[in-house]
A and B are shown apart, each in its own frame.
Chain A
């Protein structure tokens, strides 16, 4: 604190009101200029303006004739600026502790609210601004103590619920390996739709990040919300989470996109300027939520394009529907534009250097995400030119892409298994990536067993892999995704039945018929040839989003196991052989060609035999030259 004796002689002639105004002027002026900060020199000029604002507030605080209300207001404003602009946490904490002590001598609702406000800043804003585990632990301990207080010290008009939310958020940070459920019934504030929606959205978002099941009653509650009750920003957050839930399950998203369109027709205007959301927790206390990724129209449209790209990515081979190929470059371009506009000053919002910086970093993450999905597209469309260098990727992404590159290379299967195993055994890896590694390892191992390669060794490894597959699958939300479920079914059938493998793995008759049952449902729901319209509603849940490889495998297995009519079989093999050209999968295509040639021979179709044989010959040449 500045308490030099000469101080009280300065700034005389200016009223307290003037001084506060002046402090505001420096702060607002700095925020108007923040987008120009591009050099060390301009940064130090910005900081100087902020310093002036802070010093004036500090000067004001020590003036002798302030009322308690005025002192409280000035302290909170000072703390706000310090948190946003500086790293002076000790200073902030000492200010707040001093204020709390001063307020203890007064006891009415207002001072209680102000003390709790101090506690909120000390145990929520500051630990998150600092970001280290020790501070989270201390804050969690304090928060638990606060939550033990009785209703006179922690009223249930919103404060109790706020600190319950804070305790949950801190728990998530401190014990990151455990799952923390938020009891929404305890956090509810009756009649406060926005708060109830906000806490639900936070929790659902957390479940989605952890890849855990979102309970259906929560999805149902979200469906009952209206824009009029919770505001357009929270409503758009709800729509986006519902879209992500559908994408995680590989569902058809057309209906949700239509919902977005009708929502935008009515509510676009309220999303143009982004000042965040003001949630009133109690009648006197509000918090401001800022979610720059989706609280303004331009950003939502951009994110929607990215989400659509991911949803349609497996379709990228189809030139009539390759949305990801078209949209991903658009997202990159828009993101670049948005990044530039941060520093041009025409967003109309005046914010601190920290807030701009935060947005800038986020746009960089968005760009990286796009690059990852473009790489995945390349994996589907041009696997031979799939290279992992020169890409800025996370370590996790690099790891899985490296394993894939190894698997694509003939002769490198052992190395691929090694790399996949590294991923599988790393618990910090996301479960989805670990499952991906498990399924591919399963495929390679059973293929090696089919080829009679190191049979005993591979069988042993397979036992562990199958075990882990079952355990992990039941833990994640992937078990609700029919594409994953179907893939696992297909792999089981391929590895346990001739002629798909030369050395089928042992299994009981019950297991065989159970898997065949499931496969049949997927086959009937996704038949390419002579498909009957699906009348059975149970079968609808087996209908899959289009993806070439899986579609081909289901129809190949279904055709060989369930079809008996020669004409149907020929039509099926001809179709599969033809469509397998749309995406590079030479080995698969070759086997389909063999099957088709066999069927054409049985049905004595000389023309088909000749045509197929010719195609097989050129395929053979291509495949042989690759393994040289």
Chain B
């Protein structure tokens, strides 16, 4: 050819050189896919059924008088204090946060038991772990 566009420029005239600034973008990385599938696997044991004789259930629990539902908090032994997991996701704090209204649908017995055990004090004594491990991962 006598002359052609770009002849005297430094535009690459060889295919290999044309790839110098061309990453091989058809080689799409696929590594994370298999990890994604099992990253939240967990193995656990099923729930234990109530092992006690159901015929011993009190028929009218709410009417039973004189039950002392209180059990003392043993704060002397540190291993008794429960250490709860702090969730990974962000939790709001402050005045506008919503209460669970947890006592809304509890049975009367459950409500009485909560009251008898000074739930507020229990709440204040709850400790949260600093490190987070959301689930057991066997693979």
Contacts and interface: CB of A to CB of B under 8 A. Distances in A.
Interface in B89-120: 89, 91-94, 97-100, 102, 105-107, 109-110, 113-114, 117, 119
Nearest to B28: A313
Nearest to B35: A209
Contacts of B10: 627
B58 A619 contact: no
Nearest to B70: A10
A293 B39 contact: yes
Given A172-B139, A619-B5, A450 B52 contact: no
A40 B70 CA distance: 26
A241 B109 contact: no
A240 B38 CA distance: 11
Contacts of A501: 14-17
Interface string A60-90: 0000000001100110110010011111101
Contacts of B32: 369, 372
Given A41-B97, A310-B28, A501-B14, A11 B51 contact: no
Given A11-B67, A29-B105, A88 B83 contact: yes
A10 B31 contact: no
Output the residue of B10, B19, B54 with the most chain A CB within 10 A. B19
A433 B29 CA distance: 7
Nearest to A315: B26
Given A4-B74, A13-B66, A408-B23, A240 B138 contact: no
A73 B31 contact: no
A55 B70 CA distance: 11
Interface in A491-508: 494-495, 499-502
Interface stretch (A46-54, A463-471, A523-531, A565-573): A46-54
Contacts of B29: 376, 400, 430, 432-433, 436
Interface in A320-378: 353-362, 365-366, 369, 372-373, 376
B75 to A, nearest CB: 11
A293 B40 contact: yes
A110 interface: no
Contacts of B69: 10-11
Q: Which 10 A-B pairs have the closest CB atoms?
A: A39-B97, A128-B136, A208-B34, A73-B51, A547-B26, A447-B20, A587-B18, A17-B52, A620-B6, A77-B48
Interface stretch (A30-38, A224-232, A264-272): A30-38
Interface string A566-600: 00000000000000000001011011001001100
Nearest to B58: A18
Given A17-B54, A40-B97, A288-B45, A588 B19 contact: yes
Contact of B71 (A2, A124, A366, A450): A2
B51 A74 contact: yes
A13 B64 contact: yes
Nearest to A207: B34
Interface in A442-500: 443-444, 446-448, 450-451, 483-484, 487, 494-495, 499-500
A293 B135 CA distance: 13
Contacts of B57: 15, 17-18, 21
Given A125-B136, A287-B45, A366-B36, A408 B87 contact: no
B97 A38 contact: yes
Interface residues of A, number: 170
B125 to A, nearest CB: 9
B20 A443 contact: yes
A70 B102 CA distance: 30
Contact of A303 (B19, B37, B52, B122): B37
A597 B1 contact: yes
Interface on chain B toward A: helix, strand, loop, or mixed SS?
loop
A13 B58 contact: yes
Output the residue of B25, B44, B67 with the most chain A CB within 10 A. B25
A179 interface: no
A22 B109 contact: yes
Contacts of A240: 37
Contacts of A91: 79-80
A624 B23 contact: no
A617 interface: yes
Output the residue of B11, B99, B139 with the most chain A CB within 10 A. B11
B37 A202 contact: no
A134 interface: no
Given A13-B67, A121-B45, A548 B26 contact: yes
Contact of A360 (B38, B58, B89, B129): B89
A7 B73 CA distance: 10
B90 to A, nearest CB: 9
Given A121-B45, A440-B24, A594 B13 contact: yes
Contacts of A373: 28
A116 interface: no
A48 B33 contact: no
B98 A360 contact: no
Given A12-B68, A585-B22, A125 B52 contact: no
Nearest to B78: A90
B9 A623 contact: yes
B88 A361 contact: yes
A20 to B, nearest CB: 5
A289 B98 contact: no
Contacts of A356: 87
A59 B72 CA distance: 11
Contact of A17 (B33, B53, B123): B53
Nearest to A40: B93
Contacts of A7: 71-72
Nearest to A285: B45
B12 to A, nearest CB: 6
Contacts of B82: 47, 50-51, 54, 86, 88
B5 A439 contact: no
Contact of B30 (A241, A247, A413): A247
Nearest to B41: A291
A305 interface: no
B1 A125 contact: no
B98 A36 contact: yes
Contacts of B16: 443, 446-447, 450, 494-495, 500-501
A597 B4 contact: yes
A624 B11 contact: yes
Nearest to A363: B40
A205 B92 contact: no
A26 B112 CA distance: 12
A39 B92 contact: yes
Given A358-B134, A499-B14, 7 more contacts: A85-B85, A87-B83, A88-B82, A91-B79, A202-B139, A361-B89, A436-B27
Contact of B34 (A17, A54, A244): A244
